Homo-oligomer: A and B are copies of this chain.
Amino acid sequence: MTTTTATWLAELTDALGADSVLTDPDVTAGYARDQAMLAPAGTPAAVVFPRCTDDVVAVMRVAARHGLPVVPRGAGSGLAGASNAVDGGITVVMTRMDAVLEISPADRLAVVQPGVVNKQLRDAVAGAGLFYPPDPSSYDWCTIGGNLSTNSGGLCCVKYGVTTDYVLGLEVVLADGRVLRTGRRTVKGVTGYDLARLFVGSEGTLGIITEATLALRPAPKKPVTLAATFATTAQTGQVVERVVTSGLVPSLLEVMDNTCIRAVDDLLKADLDRDARALLVAQSDAGGEAAAQEIAALEELCREAGAEFVHSTDDPAEGDLLLAARRMALPALEQLGSTLIDDVAVPRSRIAQFLDGCDTVAAARALTIGVVGHAGDGNMHPTICFDPVDADQRERAFAAFDDILELGLALGGTITGEHGVGVIKVDWLEREIGPVALDVHRSIKSALDPAGLLNPGTVFRAAHRDATLGR
């Protein structure tokens, strides 16, 4: 350990206490990466666990003084490597700041610390008859801070939107250690720039979120659930398009392709139709007659499109069974090998073309690709299954990953619907947003973090110092 390192580690320990500053490589390795298993990750010099905003301020001051890279993270459920460690840097784990500070039914909001687990917040507000909609698949272990930093989505988005739609206000520790409070507790407010939404989705590159004021919704009503299978992608796409043009707003509209259907059937022995090209699962939480009507209308659209099988139920337990196939898609695909999970959003009118395109990629690269996704909002997760030990397969898997991004852009879509750019799609960011937008990103980054301390190399590269980064 150099003298300099000893100095700043001592400063960190003085500020946070020895039990909040870890340096044992065997321990810190556990905080070096998220769930994007094949993304590059560095080795942190220290992993720290702040207990309060002042602790985060202290960390950023030490980092600023010594020019150290800082990577904030929550539970590490990310899928883009956005919280992967930087060599020699400080990884700031926010999980000890896990208090739900306030739930206000009268103002329909909650104030939380970033380490609160999504499910913990959902359960806490459910007790007051309220609902926090964003529901990433990892909701039972991912943290709100991570959700904010990546602007997480989930199954709810078709009706309820994404994380940024629920952010009223934030407290953020800036790169120089100053504490910014921005936003409000009111439903509306236009005082100055919308800074809160600039930090949301910035993947830890602009500041460390230490508190959030979040809007809530009334609790959803008992769901009515529908499942339908189709012989062609055209039929499947037609239903999604007709849902949009008919003005239906189901609370959930999910799709899985034949590869997923077979994988799930293998795993669950669920007697699924193994020859169906696609399975749609939908729910309405509009309640009572309205939900029944919404699902009946959807059932009619499925039959008009030529569905092979349609079934609906207002029994929540049976609905859960219908949804189980969808929820098990990824675990089922994981039985087929290592997985590279992509995350492309396309306009809702292009879903059939996207499914067909993924088939073409799978055939061309001689790989298994299962597509599961949020059909209602066009956010698809083609999942490439491969053997990572086989160098050729591995190379083809990465090539297929890129093919799918290319396909998404060609269909007017985006390279990431909800997982984020992280470190795995940095090269693709500029292709999507172009040089002017990239330059604006760099200008804003420089304005808020001139020394480039916060999560360097994530989302986009600094203009002239890429080579010096430790990952």
Contact = CB atoms under 8 A, between A and B. Distances in A.
B244 A108 contact: yes
Tally of this chain's copies: 2
B198 A198 contact: yes
Given A197-B194, A444-B447, A446-B447, A162 B185 contact: no
Nearest to A165: B165
A286 B157 CA distance: 20
B244 A377 contact: no
Given A185-B347, A187-B378, 7 more contacts: A151-B190, A161-B165, A180-B436, A184-B413, A188-B417, A190-B416, A443-B447
Given A244-B105, A436-B180, A157 B191 contact: no
Contacts of A206: 193
Interface in A93-145: 104-108, 129-130
B377 A188 contact: yes
A420 B348 contact: no
A437 interface: yes
Interface string A214-252: 000011000000000000000000000100111111000
Contacts of A437: 180-182, 192, 195
A20 B157 CA distance: 45
A385 interface: no
Contact of A104 (B158, B191, B349, B441): B349
Interface stretch (A66-74, A312-320, A359-367, A426-434): A426-434
Contacts of A345: 184, 186-189
B192 A417 contact: no
13 contacts: A107-B348, A157-B188, A164-B194, A181-B437, A184-B345, A184-B413, A185-B347, A189-B414, A191-B421, A192-B432, A195-B441, A288-B289, A290-B290
Contact of A188 (B153, B184, B198, B219): B153
Contacts of A249: 218
Contacts of A191: 414-416, 421, 425, 429, 432-433
A442 to B, nearest CB: 9
Given A244-B107, A290-B286, A434-B181, A188 B379 contact: yes
A148 to B, nearest CB: 12
Contacts of A108: 244, 348
Contacts of A420: 190
B245 A105 contact: yes
Contact of A347 (B107, B247, B349): B107
A377 B412 CA distance: 35
A425 B377 CA distance: 39
Contacts of A419: 190
B247 A218 contact: yes
Interface of A: 104-108, 129-130, 150-151, 153, 157-158, 161-162, 164-165, 174, 178-182, 184-195, 197-198, 200-202, 206, 218-219, 241, 244-249, 286-290, 345-349, 374, 377-379, 412-421, 425, 429, 432-434, 436-437, 439-441, 443-444, 446-448, 459-460
Most buried by B among A106, A290, A441: A106
A309 to B, nearest CB: 25
A433 B241 CA distance: 44
A80 to B, nearest CB: 9
A105 B348 CA distance: 10
Contact of A186 (B151, B182, B417, B436): B417
A244 B180 CA distance: 29
Contacts of A290: 286-290
A441 B194 contact: no
Contacts of A181: 434, 436-437
A192 B206 CA distance: 12
A188 B433 contact: no
Contacts of A436: 174, 178-181
A187 B416 contact: no
